[in-house]
Amino acid sequence: MNDMKEVLLRATAEAGKIIQYYFNGTFKVNNKEGINNLVTEVDQLSEDKIIEVIKANFPEHSIISEEVGELLQPSDYQWIIDPIDGTVNFAHGIPICCVSIALKYKDDLMLGAVFNPMMNEMFFAEKGKGATLNGLPISVSTKTDFKKACLVTGFPYKWPESEQHPIKVFERFIMEGLPIRRLGSAALDLCWVACGRFDGFWEYNLSSWDVAAGYLIVQEAGGIITNFEGSPYNVFERETLATNGHIHNAMLEAINRRKEN
Q: Which residues are catalytic?
A: 66, 82, 84-85, 87, 210
* Chain-centre distance for alpha carbon 185: 7
Distance (Å, whole) CA 139 – CA 133 = 10
Continuous segment of H or E residues that includes residue 214: helix 208-220
Distance (Å, whole) CA 102 – CA 10 = 13
CB-CB contact of 216 with 111 (8 Å): yes
Buried/exposed 59-81: b ≥16 CB within 10 Å, e otherwise: eebbbbbbbeeebeeeeebbbbb
Q: What's 184's DSSP letter? A: S
Radius of gyration of the chain measured on its C-alpha atoms: 18
121 HSE (CA, 13 A, CB side): 18
Distance (Å, whole) CA 143 – CA 48 = 41
Among candidates 234, 240, 160, 252, which has minimal Cα distance to 204? 240
- Three-class secondary structure assignment of 119-136: CCEEEEEECCCCEEECCE
CB-CB contact of 10 with 53 (8 Å): yes
Distances in Å between the Cα of 6 and the Cα atoms of 3, 12, 18, 115, 171 are 5, 10, 19, 14, 43
